[in-house]
Amino acid sequence: AQTVTQSQPEMSVQEAETVTLSCTYDTSESDYYLFWYKQPPSRQMILVIRQEAYKQQNATENRFSVNFQKAAKSFSLKISDSQLGDAAMYFCAYRTPGVYGGSQGNLIFGKGTKLSVKP
């Protein structure tokens, strides 16, 4: 079964600095999707960034980028120029192929990393 591991329960970063959140996963599939979701205190789940496993290029979204190492099954999130509004829980997620394969999959989440941003 697929698993997602986030080994850092909590992280802290100074405002304007860069921080990297770690995520590893286990799968026997070759084609899949990976996601990072942000959950602020409101508990809304907000998509930050996604990566398609067949793409070698690392995904970027403004200040957010990933370091996707397929062979190592690693998917870390880098936040540059950290802002106070970045403080939240961050969840790494893997999309399963689903029972019927293709697009049927659901998300498996890691336990999350709580990010604090110091002014």
Residues that bind another protein (CB under 8 A): 33, 35, 37, 42-47, 50, 52, 91, 93, 98-100, 103-104, 106-112
Which residue lies nearer to another protein by CB, 88 or 112?
112
The DSSP symbol for 22 reads -
Strand 33-39 and strand 46-52: the pairing is antiparallel
39 in helix, strand or coil?
A: strand
Q: CB 74 → another protein: shortest distance, Å?
A: 19
CA distance 10 to 18: 15
Q: How far is the CB of 6 from another protein (least distance, A)?
A: 9
DSSP H helices, the chain, are none
Instruction: Report in angstroms how near the CB of residue 14 gets to another protein at its nearest.
Output: 26
